[in-house]
Amino acid sequence: MKEEKEIKIGGMSCSHCVMHVRRALTELEGVDDVDVAIGSAKIKFDPESVDEKTMKKAIVEAGYEVL
């Protein structure tokens, strides 16, 4: 069963930031769809393959702040 989660993100200011966060999340196994805008990401994912902690870690490792 798929789930959807919205994560608020700090430190984003341009389309390059959006692309960088989108890439970091889509590379995770279990992430099916990502809708990223400046300041947030809506993620559709398989909770049996990836959890919220892993998604937040990917955002932080990409250089942004999870709010």
Q: What is the pLDDT at residue 33?
A: 96
Percent of the chain residues past pLDDT 70, beyond the cut: 100
Q: What is the pLDDT at residue 1?
A: 82
Are 1 and 45 spatial neighbours (Cβ–Cβ below 8 Å)? no
Q: What is the pLDDT at residue 30?
A: 97
Residue type, 54: T
Mean pLDDT of 40-48: 97
CA Rg value for the chain? 11
Rounded CA gap, 49 and 67, in Å? 23
Q: What is the pLDDT at residue 19?
A: 97
What backbone torsions phi and psi does residue 60 show, to the nearest 5 degrees? -65, -45
Mean pLDDT of 12-32: 97
Domain 3-66 = CATH 3.10.270.10: no
Q: What is the pLDDT at residue 44?
A: 97
